[in-house]
Amino acid sequence: MREYLTCPSPRCRYTVTASEQAVEQMTDHITTAHELPEISASFHASTLRAERDYQAA
């Protein structure tokens, strides 16, 4: 079974396969698609990774 990170924006269905590059890919998506500043986008992407890691434990 694969794990995914899903964009936190409402009604956005963008997902990336959870991997070493997932946070960077999600940051790029949030910055480009939702026009958030990179610092905010990277915070949201890192939060998603932390939630995934917590749920996996």
For 32-49, how does the pLDDT look when each residue is reduced to its tens digit (9 = 90+)?
998 877 767 677 777 766
pLDDT above 90: residue 8:
no
CB 45 within 8 A of CB 30: yes
Residue-level pLDDT at 14:
94
- Number of C-alpha atoms within 13 angstroms, CB side, residue 21? 5
Average pLDDT over residues 9-36: 87
What amino acid is encoded at 50 in this protein?
Answer: A
Rounded distance between C-alpha atoms, residue 37 and residue 33, angstroms: 11
Q: What confidence category does residue 12 fall into, taking pLDDT thresholds of 50, 70 and 90?
A: very high
Average pLDDT over residues 12-37: 87
